[in-house]
Structure 1
């Protein structure tokens, strides 16, 4: 689901609240320096990424989750025909309410083609966001956004100017993992981590405040699709983490 603008706002607020504590990973030479250098590519987990993400009009997946407060919730995801691809609608993904996204398969890749306004300034920053690409290999890393954004953070250093915000959005294939499902067979799935990381940079002297990050881990099972989602995000005060986790409980409408 498209949550970038919301997540950027959370990261910026958490980064400000956590000023003076923690630390960030400044590895990498290009862009903001927030994107780490990927390890060497590993084993091929799927020759065709589209087998991990079936896009089937009329298909429905049910999930049960645990939110950051330890409460339970339900989420139903469905596909409706679009041109091209499908419109994927979730009733309560990560316990945040209803949302939808356009998803397409193009040349062995799964894309979200619609333009995305990452920083909330009314101008599209990302389009054709790659969710999966072929072949799916361990340590494959895809960078969607890696820039320094001006005027996103209110003045905190007292120089009368808004601060900068370094923002990076990237994904990495972690590997094959078993996902235990209540009342269903355990699924062998491919885990991909989708990471958003940001930090405030002071306009007065360029000081980089500690970075904060959010990681959405998604497990994809062949011919079944997403069997688990986990979101590990900072709290609004930037001092703790909030984890939401949902797993597949049933599905209908898939071939076979």
Structure 2
């Protein structure tokens, strides 16, 4: 069965994560369709990034189930989930600062291979991936910096490298954790255009506080508060819901 025949790309059922006596996510249930553009909103501490960490396997859930294209991945490692088509970016940029942009993206491509990267082998050993890495860098407007060190980049450029690394994994579900955070207006417009250009074969789920920009990209919106889903549905309906104004907009 291909993704076009599947009802849901991602199914989350009664997901819960507890840290001691603190409940970070509580009975969260969501469904994401193939190709959907979903925005996750909520105040600080609402459980948004915790939910992403549960979906990717960076955090094991206390209870509940996660299905990716019909496959139960609840107990699978992040590596196995990535091979089923899941990729993400992080709120705090996670790149190899002392390596070049091409090297970083090549490592993302290596994640698709049956055999993992061997640290004692130079990246040149995987020379067939160089062309693809440069193609992806070109797609995010950074080909001219392919041989530069990540540490020499501006913050907005690092955001684009992280997006390139995620796209290198050819995801069918892409989680973006505050991809516009800390960017200038010009950088925000550039990254927004890159997200908008992601092919419809990929479902995009985004956490973002820049509502004016993020709502332009979203079809559906989920509001979290204190680890619970408060409102969930079509974008305009969620924005107009009184609970959204109360919890998120403070009115």
Structure 1 and Structure 2 fold alike (TM over 0.5): no
| TM-score, length-scaled by structure 2 | 0.27
Is the helix fraction higher in 1 or 2? 2
Which structure's relative contact order is higher, taking Cα pairs within 8 Å and 6+ residues apart?
Answer: 2
Is the strand fraction higher in 1 or 2? 1
| TM-score, length-scaled by structure 1 | 0.27
